[in-house]
Amino acid sequence: MSRAATTRLEPGEHSIDRAQVFPYRDGFAMRWSIRLHGGRLMRPLTQGPTKGKVRARARARAADLLSSSGDGGWKGASKALDYLDKVTLPAIRAERLADSTTRRYELAHRLLRGECGDEACRHTHALAGLSLREAMRPRALTSCLEEIGRLHGAVNAKHAKTVAKKYLAAPLRVDEVIEYNPLTDLELDLSGAKNPAYSRGGRALTAEQYRAAIEYLLAADPESVKAPKRGRWTREQRVIERAACIDIVLAQATTGLRTSELCMRPTEDCHVDASGTFIVELSPEATKTRTGRPVPVLAPAVSKRLATRLDSGSPWLFPSPTDQAKVWDPRNRDRKLAALYRELAEQLHIEMFEYERGHSWRTTNNTLLYDVLPEATRTRLFGHTAAINRQRYTAVTSTEAVVSAAAGIFEK
């Protein structure tokens, strides 16, 4: 990578047009310089999926920095809402987050402002009307975040705290408005938080919906993807990516494995038994609950499909589409999986997939196997927390019995 020219920048100037864009993670990045109106030099790092996107994001960031105030700096008396709009929100959108995470953080940004769209919902402790100095007082932050919890639930309060800590208070330290981040040690009392309308993973598909989803995925043709009009990914890589997403969801649907448990699996942890069933061997270290177990694929057709991955030559069951020797970057992977789940929601009219993802398969399998497998066996199979005696004295001793019990699910 050639070095950009080092001509001194005058106040209000930036080096975006002459800075070099370089490959970074699964996309591109650029380190550029900008001299604020007050004379301070900054060197931000901007990331994006394409070179053009990187430069566009950098220009937007430069415009925000130069328009934030006349001298390029913020004061304690500046309005908190101005900072939220001109610094916090652009920072959220410029970062390489999963689409679902960006949407959650944008909602958190609105809730910090006291805007939720419900006229009957009054945010009396929002940051609206406060100066930056007032907004960064621990009591003001605690009141604002705990109110969000009471009105919109603990999850939204935690997201709002993350946004306030990372995209509000942290930049304010850089801008020398505050000396320390008050959210680092801030404790919230969310005991009075509103209960959510649903719990993630708490809903199950019907048997008909389950079979329809499996059939749709098995019939999906990865070769149907179109060649990208721009970007560094080739059509061949897009096909590999599409095939991997389909296989991941099929594996989730027929094992109930968590995304991390499945997508970080080396091929050496997998095998096909004498009956043709694909088995994933989970060590205690590989599971969220620290409960090792063999996990069989319940559908024979999916077992056959996954078995071909053992001969790919990659050390990973689901490697990066661009480098078979590496594990797939979780942020990029989860964005692609989310798009496939939305496709299932639209094509099969299963509204639940708009917001329920991998955890829904665990609930579905547990429900559909309710009458054919003992509860303790299901507990061990899916790795759920259960009574200590079931964890210690009950195990999935026969994967063949599990697959046999599940056979009726796939028979119309």
- In CATH, what number is assigned to the domain containing residue 291? 1.10.443
pLDDT confidence tier of residue 407, bands split at 50, 70 and 90: low
Based on the fold, state whether residues 244 and 165 are members of the same structural domain.
Answer: no
Based on the fold, state whether residues 34 and 123 are members of the same structural domain.
Answer: yes
- CA–CA gap between residue 253 and residue 299 (Å, rounded): 9
Based on the fold, state whether residues 109 and 225 are members of the same structural domain.
Answer: no
Q: Which residues of 13-45 are buried (b: 16+ CB within 10 A; e: fewer)?
A: ebbbeebebeebebbbbbbbbbbbbeeeebebe
pLDDT score at 412: 55
Q: To which H or E segment does residue 326 belong?
A: strand 323-327
Q: Does residue 323 lie in a domain region?
A: yes
pLDDT confidence tier of residue 81, bands split at 50, 70 and 90: very high
Q: Which of 360, 361, 214 is nearest to 300 (CA)?
A: 214
Q: Does residue 181 lie in a domain region?
A: no
Q: How much is the average pLDDT of 57-63?
A: 87
Q: Does residue 166 lie in a domain region?
A: yes
Domain boundary among 174, 194, 226: 174
- Long-range own/partner contacts, residues 141-150 (CB < 8 A, 24 or more apart): 141/182, 141/183, 141/186, 142/186, 142/188, 144/112, 145/186, 145/188, 146/188, 146/189, 146/190, 146/192, 147/123, 148/111, 148/112, 148/123, 149/188, 149/190, 149/192, 149/193, 149/194, 150/192, 150/193, 150/194
Rounded to whole angstroms, what are the CA distances from 338 to 3, 242, 330, 342?
38, 12, 12, 6
Domain boundary among 174, 194, 219: 174
Q: How much is the average pLDDT of 332-360?
A: 85
Q: Which domain holds residue 232?
A: 207-410
Res. 1: pLDDT tops 80: no
Q: Does residue 186 lie in a domain region?
A: no
One-letter amino acid of 66: L
Based on the fold, state whether residues 170 and 218 are members of the same structural domain.
Answer: no
125 close to 141: Cβ distance less than 8 angstroms? no
Res. 60: pLDDT tops 90: no
pLDDT confidence tier of residue 370, bands split at 50, 70 and 90: low
Based on the fold, state whether residues 97 and 216 are members of the same structural domain.
Answer: no
Q: Does residue 10 lie in a domain region?
A: no
Average of per-residue pLDDT values in the chain: 82
Q: Does residue 342 lie in a domain region?
A: yes
Q: Does residue 403 lie in a domain region?
A: yes
Based on the fold, state whether residues 246 and 310 are members of the same structural domain.
Answer: yes
Based on the fold, state whether residues 227 and 130 are members of the same structural domain.
Answer: no
Rounded to whole angstroms, what are the CA distances from 384 to 29, 227, 231, 364?
41, 42, 42, 14
Based on the fold, state whether residues 231 and 156 are members of the same structural domain.
Answer: no
Domain boundary among 127, 159, 174: 174
pLDDT tens column, 245-287: 999 999 999 988 888 888 889 999 999 999 999 999 988 777 6
Based on the fold, state whether residues 218 and 279 are members of the same structural domain.
Answer: yes
Rounded to whole angstroms, what are the CA distances from 211 to 7, 119, 255, 407?
64, 42, 14, 12
pLDDT score at 134: 95
Based on the fold, state whether residues 136 and 262 are members of the same structural domain.
Answer: no
Based on the fold, state whether residues 32 and 150 are members of the same structural domain.
Answer: yes
Q: Does residue 134 lie in a domain region?
A: yes
What is the side-by-side strand order in the sheet with 21-24?
A: 21-24, 27-31, 45-48
How many domains in the chain?
A: 2
pLDDT tens column, 314-342: 999 999 999 999 999 988 898 899 889 98
Based on the fold, state whether residues 47 and 133 are members of the same structural domain.
Answer: yes
